[in-house]
Amino acid sequence: MVVVNHTIILGVHELYIDKALLPPRYALPTLCVLSINSHLITIIENAKALLIDNELSDVTIQTAIPLWYFQLTNRYHYDIKTFAHIGHDFIRFSGILRPYKEPHFITPKIPINSLHHAPPTIKQIDLAQLSIPFARSLVKEINNLNDQYSRLDELYWSIDPVVEEIRKLDESTEQSLSLESDSALESLNKQSNELDEQKVAINTQLEILSMRLLFKVFGISKGDWVSFIPRVDHSPQRLQFEYCEVFENVLTITGSGITQNGKLGKRQQHISIELVRLS
């Protein structure tokens, strides 16, 4: 028997996957009643590990945890197929009334860290963890990617002035210039676009790797409350992890700060972790 800690009630919205598939309005649930118990927490934790390992943005699992309340009948209905959608920092539920094939209603997102009754525990970042072999290999991978990124970036900006002029020229002249030089200019323009695409791809990869590093090494993921004592001035920084990025071998975690009395503040704070290049 799982112990129910408390309950959350969610509104329910219609989901317009297919306009033609509209059941009568009264055939929709009014409320979604969700009991937070250890079983649910385990499901979320497993899903989160899955997200990080497989570079996913959310996972969908069929579940029977939430109850759907219908105001029309003043009771819970059982013949509903329910799916839990779990992302890095949120969970939401969608459902299907029996004869339909596609989910046609959904709840809003609940931040995972607000599932717990108490404010989330603050996780400490311990830089010593970075010296374990697994962390070192990840750091190395990030460093390499970062180098690759810098090289691309350098190339991009060095051809940028030329490309910029070509584009201007392209707009101001109607007839093509001499054929050979025109195609050469064209290919330069193309290359600039390609470089831009590659930069975006590497950036995404960097984000995934740094998320993995933070999760596997420090055990933190999006939505967690994090604290960090920098080596330099020793004043602790506390924030809610919203996103992270790597630039020039520095991993920056950004999010709203946590105030002295343990509440979420308004100001954006940053935690910078230097990923030391390993020789």
Partner 1 sequence: MNIQKLISAVRQARKRRKINDFHETPRSGIDVSDDEFNVTLVMLKTLFKYFKAQSCLIHISFYGEIIITLTEMGHSFELSITNRPHFLNIDEYLEQLKTAAYIRLPSHNPHNSMTLSVKTIRPKAIWKHYSIDINNTENTLIEQVFNDLKTKMNSYSNQEGESSYAVIPSKNDLLAAIHFGGAFLGTSSMLYHLSKLLTNRIYIREISIAEHVISIDGSNYADKSEHWFGKREAKFFTQYLPSNSFKQSLNL
Residues in a beta bridge with 225: 122, 240
Binding segment for partner 1 among 3-11, 50-58, 119-127, 183-191 (CB under 8 A)?
A: 3-11
The H-or-E segment that residue 198 falls in is helix 179-218
Q: How far is CA 72 from CA 31, 38, 107, in A?
A: 11, 31, 19
65 binds partner 1 (CB under 8 A): no
33 binds partner 1 (CB under 8 A): yes
Which of 16, 54, 62, 98 touches partner 1 (CB under 8 A)? 98
Closest to 40 (Cα-Cα) out of 6, 79, 78, 16: 6
100 binds partner 1 (CB under 8 A): yes
Match 């937070």 to its residue by tokens.
36
69 binds partner 1 (CB under 8 A): yes
263 binds partner 1 (CB under 8 A): no
78 binds partner 1 (CB under 8 A): yes
179 binds partner 1 (CB under 8 A): no
Sign of CA dihedral 217, 58, 41, 272: positive
CA angle 266/268/269 to nearest 5° reads: 125
What is the C-alpha to C-alpha distance for residues 259 and 270, in angstroms, rounded to an integer? 14
Q: How many residues bind partner 1 (CB under 8 A)?
A: 39
In angstroms, give the least distance from the CB of 243 to partner 1: 21
Which of 42, 46, 60, 73 touches partner 1 (CB under 8 A)? 73
5 binds partner 1 (CB under 8 A): yes
Binding segment for partner 1 among 40-48, 64-72, 205-213, 254-262 (CB under 8 A)?
A: 64-72
Task: Enumerate residues 102-121 that contact partner 1 by CB under 8 A.
Answer: 107-110, 114, 117
- Phi, psi of 13, deg, nearest 5: -110, 150
Residue 17, classed as helix, strand or coil, is coil
Whether the CB-CB separation of 128 and 217 falls below 8 Å is answered with: no
Residues that bind partner 1 in the complex, under the rule CB under 8 A: 4-11, 20, 22-24, 26-27, 30-31, 33, 35, 67, 69, 71-79, 97-100, 107-110, 114, 117
